[in-house]
Structure 1
Amino acid sequence: MRYLCLWGLASIWLLGFVPTAWSQDLNQQLALALLEEAQLQQQMADKAEEIEKLKLAQIIQDLKAIGLPKGPYNDDFVAEHAAMILAYAEEYEQARWVMHMLTPDVSTGNISRTNDFRPDPLIPTGSAVQEDYFLVETLPDGKLQYDGFGFDRGHLAPSADFRWSQLALSESYFYSNMSPQRPRFNRESWAALEDLFRAYVDRHSDTKLYVVTLPILHEGLPVVDRSVNKVAIPAYYAKLALDLTHQRGIAFVMPNRYCDEPLYTFAISIDSLEKLTGLDFFPNLESGLQAKLEAMSDPKPWLPDAQQQDVRPVSVELLPRGYFNTLQAKNHVGTGKSITICGTVVSTKLSGKGNVFLNLDRAFPNQIFTVSIFADKVINFPYAPHEYLKGKQICVTGKITDFQGTASMAIDNAKAIQFFD
């Protein structure tokens, strides 16, 4: 009986006290592990901050190495920010040019818009301010009433290009990086060009782009009447990019309006833009390489795969009187008149029902003008239209209608087609 009692006491001790000791030991281990995790997270955050600073310093170093734009504008003030360098033209209250770099980090960055628009503290004469674009009044109920002047605060160096760096993205909202852009131009046409370059870097993760953005400034520009600093309103904007890895250069010049023309129609060479602006871009490049890259004007290498088949619409100057290109087709939708449209057949489709569709100048799904040949009319052609016509320059005559937002023409026979050289 004595042994049983001792065994019972021992069992009670084991069951009642040992788990408590174990529990205390595990709590200490867990607390230590959590402390170590917090320390590691802080170390990772510190290292990420260090890496970002090094990347920003590398960008500024690379921009200076390739050379800032040069020109006969000695009064411009050059301001160096974390990830962009700009030349501020006080006469026009905006930058003459802004230079930055578009890196593969843009594909993984996830920092959202900061919208912290503010004057640029580096501009000694003072940059543009909010009152150059709109006024804000606080109503009796505390709500804000905005009185806009009709223009967006259009970014020159786009904020989305810096979404990998909180500092760089925030600095893109300095008013020195803003220019008065028509709303639809800023939000659609200009945004599409910005998207084009980001998509290019996303497809070519082995490269980085040297980018210069500029309003085309010259004497006699109108100003925003109600702006306190009389900010000039550019009629045109330009953006150029250089890819040293793949040896490519391109420039785009776009009017300050909504542009429904394809982006590639605005492409020119960097040389041409230099003649237009009086600026010398990338002056430190080796002369032979500079001449080669700045003479390029083919936009195709910069376009996504879906647009590689696209071609420039025929120049209006090359067309006979009464003939129109595919960009002009939309102007004749629903007129009921017989119109002749010329372009290159870049894509075709033979549907399961035997209908043939020809897209001129821009391929599906970005088509701007489509020719339809319905199944019962295909017999009127001495060839298979979807095969024979692909890649050929043609002019088609008929009435133009709208089909789901695209200018379209249905033709009945081969006589409606002329071959254009």
Structure 2
Amino acid sequence: MALGNPSGATADVNNPNNYLMRKPQFALSYSRDRGTPNWVSWHLDIADRGSVNRQEDFRADPDVPAGWYQVQGSSYLGSGFDRGHNCPSADRTSSPENNSATFLMTNMIPQAPQNNQGTWANLENYTRSFLPGNEVYVIMGSYGVGGKNASDVTNNTVTNTIDQGRVTVPKRVWKVVVVLPVGNNDVSRINANTRIIAIDTPNENSISPDWGNYRTSVDKIEEATGLDLLSGLPVEVQAIIESKVDNGPVL
């Protein structure tokens, strides 16, 4: 969370829809009523990458406060939506424990299959291509209500919730990627020339696999979500980099 706490989340059960959860592998703001994270934030460098296989152990997060509904690994089954990782499995392959953490359901959103397996997989692979010479900070989240899986696209309908209404299907899925050469004192090294990739996609199965088509500015994502992204940076730096739309390579 070196770049900030986008929603001012707190580890207070009286703040159920902006509940801060900090894990060794990532941090997140969880919404009890939506059954999904508002955002997930993590750092990626070559030390996070190894030869560990996907653990595939989708499961309820035991850190969800007592008395709250716990989304299960089976909660998305039959919905037509993928269990879409926020922090990807492939970003945490240094140990079985680290990879397993990405399969907690607090790290998942109901994601249209082509959105998850196409567009987002392509961006995730591209992000990892910056290693080992660079390190990357990533913040991902979702907002709105109503996505379209393959059946919804065919029937021109929208699915608002799954799991008997206990998990909200988001309308949009976004991500911000900050790329830095490997070094120290990361926050102080982010400046007007730092590459910032921000995308905002519809949660639909008819989405293009080319993530570059969905580039936007951090400012636009903040406007849509009410979040304060990159708040850990000096205000003058935020003013410059948050208004830009990336035009760099996509492969």
1:100-249 equivalent positions in 2, closer than 5 A: 100-106=42-48, 109-124=50-65, 125-134=68-77, 148-199=78-129, 201-202=130-131, 205-217=132-144, 222-224=160-162, 227-228=163-164, 230-245=166-181, 247-249=194-196
CA distance in structure 2 between the partners assigned to 1:130 and 1:179 by the alignment: 12
CA contact (8 A) 2:145 2:160 kept: no
Q: Please tell me whether the aligned partners of residues 177 and 197 of structure 2 are also in contact (alpha carbons under 8 angstroms).
A: yes
Could you tell me how far apart the structure 2 residues matched to 1:239 and 1:126 are? 27
Letter in 2 for 1:239: K
**Offset at residue 215 of structure 1 (A):** 1.3
Q: What CA distance in whole angstroms lies between the structure 1 residues aligned with 2:71 and 2:164?
A: 9
Q: Tell me the CA shift for residue 184 of structure 1.
A: 2.4
Q: Which has the higher contact order (CA 8 A, sep 6+)?
A: 2
Residue of structure 2 equivalent to 1:67: 4
1:40-92 CA distance string (max 9 Å, x none): xxxxxxxxxxxxxxxxxxxxxxx2x3212125995321111111001111111
Q: 1:89 to 1:221 in 2, by over 3 A?
A: farther
**CA deviation string 1:223-267 (max 9, x = no partner):** 11xx14521111210011112446121211111123226321100
| Partners of 1:128 and 1:229 within 8 A in 2 | no
Per-residue deviation, residues 164-189 of structure 1 (Å, max 9, x unmatched): 23222110000111111122222222
Q: What is the CA deviation profile of residues 101-122 of structure 1, one whole-angstrom value per residue up to 9, with x for unaligned ones? A: 121235x511110001111111
Max Rg structure:
1
SS in 1 for 2:161: coil
Residue correspondences, number:
221
TM-score, structure 1 normalization: 0.49
Give the letter for the 2:160 counterpart.
P
Gaps of 5+ in 2: 147-157, 182-192
Structure (1/2) with the larger helix percentage: 1
- After the TM superposition, list the runs of 4 or more consecutive aligned residues in structure 1 that deviate by more than 3 angstroms: 71-75, 217-221
Q: Deviations over 1:145-201 (max 9, x none)?
A: xxx2211111111110111232221100001111111222222222112112112x2
Cα RMSD (Å): 2.3
Which residue of the other structure, out of 186, 202, 212, is the alignment partner of 1:264? 212
Q: Distance in 2 between matches of 1:100 and 1:229?
A: 29
Provide the secondary structure at the position in 1 that maps to 2:134.
coil
Distance, in Å, in 1 between the alignment partners of 2:250 and 2:166 is: 37
1:218/1:150 CA distance change after superposition, 3 Å? closer
Q: CA deviation at 1:123?
A: 1.2
Question: For residue 140 of structure 2, what is the amino acid of its counterpart?
Answer: T
Corresponding residue SS for 1:66: coil
Distance across 1 between alignment mates of 2:114 and 2:159: 20
| 5+ long unaligned stretches in structure 1 | 1-62, 135-147, 305-421
Q: What is the TM-score with the length of structure 2 in the denominator?
A: 0.80
